[in-house]
Amino acid sequence: MPETCLVPQDKTVLYQTIDHQPELPGHRHFLYSLLSRRSFWVKVIWAAFLLTGLGYQTYLAYHYSSNETTNTALVVARTAAYNLLILLVLLWIPVMRHTSTWLRQVGAENWLPLDSFKTVHRWLGHVLLGAALLHGASYIFYFDSLEGDFLPIYVGQKADLVRSMETTMYEFVTEDESIEDVSRWIAGGWDRKTYEESIAKIMKEDCTKCHSADSTMTYAAPQLALTDYESVKSLSKPGGYSRQFRINMTGTLMLILFSVVWVTSLGVMRKRYYHRFQSVHRLGYVLAVLALFHIPRFEYCVYPAIILLVEYVLNRKNMSWYGCKAKIKEVGASTFSLDIKLPKPVFIRTGHYVQIRVRSISNKEWHSISLINGGENSDTLNLMIKVLGDWTEQLYRLSKVSHEVELDVRGFYASPIASAAQAKQVFCVAGGIGVTPVMSLINHYQQQVEKWEKLTVVWVFRDWALLNEMGDWLRAIQESSPEVNLLCFATSTCPEKFQIPRGVQVFNRRPCLSSKLAQFETNEIALKHAFVCGPESLSAEVKSLVLNRKGWQVIVEHF
């Protein structure tokens, strides 16, 4: 029979003497630990590459003086544009779930900052919006500084060739009559005979010095060659067919759409209106198409296209199941479990997650949920979910009135803890429902012939219903794998007459993580992994403690 709730207070804090490195002054110890961390240097190296690329693009833009109309507004606009090219390429990479999963499976976390991809994506989005606003505003000021009215120039009312000859390229036009001749030729319908008799001569005298493949001028634009009839005609279409209209209108639309995406991606919006965030984020595909029409440098469009193609191929190889039956059960005041039945057994990788869709709630929303089971063949996916928004709230209410729900599943995708499956010494800290990916890791551990050198799990929870739900699992770990150091800490008062599983010890207080880390450390040189999943405050505490220790790598996951 399980024993009644008797929770040791464990007020004595134990420390283990660490003698594998000499005592150093505070600042030297911090620097020493910093320099010994591979993850830190991986981030530094890639940040250096990014800053170098942005610096080089800024240099090119700043030293590109095309004509006498070049002013501060144009330099700023072009600098922002050149840097936007790099940002647009990189923005797609962190959100590629399949590509990230594949990179983790091949061990790329040793040379890529995979655990920082989501953070990088958010910051790239902020920087990209700022650069886009600067780019657009500066070009508006530049157009306003040119001879002629602003609006006709902005919407490309005149043909690109005529507009440029009257404004930006006016210094290269030998005679004003040449502009009138070109205008009459365009109005007359691009007569080929007129082109060969007069327009070709004007192009040779005024335009091909810049717009030709063999131009040696530093500000030449050979991609807009004006050396034959068809190329000249292509830049002689006014209004909606002009290049100016296409670039300016797609740019304006891109800025509007990206601003909408940015607003709905903010933390406060994402948490409260996740369904809106997910739907609006699909505008990214529209933005990608608009970029093809807006960006003159085609090679910068090719790289994102390749990334998307790779993602598509990997997506086709991934597994999807539709109309799956799942047992749903209320666990605690704001937690419920799902046991999803698959058509046949599949191998479930350790530390992975799936995306689920409940059509009765929303036909468009997919939500990422960590798996409890892992490292095994099974026809059942075990999930535990905490209410964190509207969608999970609706699913939680469903658990109160039904024992089964139909849903769709797709996956599997690697979460940060997946890399811990290859580690030797793992120290896990989980907060509340954050224990679910840790359970996947322990399931993997129990099925391995060659065990890890050391595994410690510190679980901090407030809702005692979670402990009740996982009692059998905790007891099974203690019985089958006594070498796993499992420490449970409750931060709320134990309910009256609550019964805890036999053999499971719970401390009714917050853990002293510094002492637990000290107890975990040994004289061995092996790299130690600290994995933490839970509230940001818990993650920050673990990271600050590990920062001043040698030979540690921190892996953080947020739900």
CB 336, CB 401: distance < 8 Å:
no
Query: What is the DSSP annotation of 323-357?
Result: EEEEEEEE-SSSEEEEEEEEEEEEEE-TTEEEEEE
Amino acid present at 223: Q
Radius of gyration of the chain from Cα atoms? 31
CB 423, CB 527: distance < 8 Å:
yes
Q: Is the pLDDT of residue 408 over 90?
A: yes
C-alpha torsion sign, points 516, 553, 429, 481: negative
Task: Please tell me the distance from the alpha carbon of residue 296 to that of residue 70, in angstroms, as a whole number.
Answer: 19
Q: How confident is the model at residue 409 (pLDDT cuts 50, 70, 90)?
A: very high
Q: What is the pLDDT of residue 19?
A: 29
Q: Is the peptide bond before 412 cis (omega within 30 degrees of 0)?
A: yes
Among 87, 484, 450, 550, smallest CA distance to 300 is for: 87
pLDDT (tens digit, 9 = 90+) per residue, 46-88? Answer: 889 889 989 998 888 887 766 667 788 888 988 998 898 888 8
pLDDT (tens digit, 9 = 90+) per residue, 272-309? Answer: 777 778 788 888 878 888 888 887 666 666 766 777 77
The 3-state DSSP composition of the chain as helix, strand, coil percent (nearest 5) reads 55, 15, 30
Q: Map tokens 């050979």 to a residue.
A: 222
Structural element, H or E, at residue 431: strand 425-431
Close Cβ partners of 72 (under 8 Å, ≥ 6 residues apart): none
Structural element, H or E, at residue 485: strand 485-490
More confident of the two residues 370 and 28: 370
Q: What is the pLDDT of residue 133?
A: 93
Which residue intervals of 211-321 are DSSP H helices? 229-234, 243-265, 267-272, 274-281, 283-294, 299-317
Q: How confident is the model at residue 417 (pLDDT cuts 50, 70, 90)?
A: confident
Cα-Cα-Cα-Cα torsion 214, 220, 225, 227, nearest 10 degrees, comes to: -60
Cα atoms in the Cβ-side hemisphere of radius 13 Å centred on 372? 17
CB 555, CB 531: distance < 8 Å:
yes
Q: Is the pLDDT of residue 540 over 70?
A: yes
Close Cβ partners of 267 (under 8 Å, ≥ 6 residues apart): none
Among 290, 187, 293, smallest CA distance to 244 is for: 293
Mean pLDDT, the chain, integer: 79
Q: CA angle, 445 as apex, 443 and 446 as ends, to 5°? A: 70
- How far is it between the farthest Cα atoms of the chain? 104
Among 131, 22, 133, smallest CA distance to 86 is for: 131
Q: What is the pLDDT of residue 109?
A: 67
Provide the percentage of residues in the chain whose pLDDT is more than 70. Answer: 85
Q: What is the pLDDT of residue 231?
A: 87
Structure tokens at 125: 């989005």
Task: Please tell me the distance from the alpha carbon of residue 325 to that of residue 381, in angstroms, as a whole number.
Answer: 11
Q: What is the pLDDT of residue 105?
A: 67
Structural element, H or E, at residue 379: strand 376-386
Q: Map tokens 């993997």 to a residue.
A: 444
Q: What is the pLDDT of residue 325?
A: 92
Task: Please tell me the distance from the alpha carbon of residue 34 to that of residue 32, in angstroms, as a whole number.
Answer: 5
C-alpha torsion sign, points 360, 366, 372, 377: positive
CB 326, CB 407: distance < 8 Å:
yes
Among 455, 430, 454, smallest CA distance to 532 is for: 430
Query: What is the value of pTM for the model shown?
Result: 0.67
Q: What is the pLDDT of residue 253?
A: 93
Span 477-500, mean pLDDT? Answer: 81
DSSP letter at 195 equals I
CB 114, CB 557: distance < 8 Å:
no
Which domains are delineated in the chain?
Answer: 3-19+418-557 (3.40.50.80), 64-145+254-315 (no CATH), 158-237 (no CATH), 319-414 (2.40.30.10)
Span 143-161, mean pLDDT? Answer: 84
